[in-house]
Amino acid sequence: MANSLKNPKLRSLDEAVAHREALRAEGKRVVLTNGCFDLLHTGHVYYLRKAAALGDALFIALNGDASVVALKGPTRPVQNAQERAYLLGALDFVDTLLVFDTPRLTAEIEALQPDIYAKAGDYTLDTLNPEERGALEKVGADIQFLPFLEGYSTTSLIAKIAKAAGTF
């Protein structure tokens, strides 16, 4: 079933770079963000909409499945990368999606050269990965930290679902 999910917004890195270059030629500003987005929820959509408003096109680098396991533990991801990308691709303000399987986004940052890099407000310049921060500075990206919508997280959503499941 998952293999039948068509997603025209999901691109390889080479395809994303070519699209980014076309947008640059049109004078459009590209915003890049990244994350796991395991169970898409209100907090994600709130943040992504704010990120999209910073420029003309929102690119999302989605952590691959092995990366999510490494970051979140063996019970995650709940949905595989193709399923997560399909949901994100359904959002009208998302332009491009790409999946990265490395621990860091450095190569993607250097290749895409975003105008703006957005991260949720639970991060700061000091807590950004130094390698990624260096790549962002190298390409001249404007680093923006956006408000974090309190009370919404995938972990808390999973806990609510587990509690609700116990009532059936």
CA distance 161 to 156: 9
Omega of the bond leading into 103 within 30 degrees of 0 (cis): no
Residue 3's contacts (CB-CB under 8 Å, 6 or more residues apart) are 82
pLDDT-based confidence at 168, cuts 50/70/90?
low
101-117, pLDDT tens digit by residue?
988 999 999 999 999 99
Q: How far is CA 41 from CA 46, 87, 96, 168, in A?
A: 9, 11, 19, 23
Residue pair 146/121 in contact by the 8 Å Cβ criterion: yes
Question: Could you tell me if 146 and 47 are in contact, meaning their C-beta atoms sit under 8 angstroms apart?
Answer: yes
Question: With 50 as the cut, is the pLDDT of residue 1 above it?
Answer: no
Q: What domains lie within the chain, and their CATH numbers?
A: 2-165 (3.40.50.620)
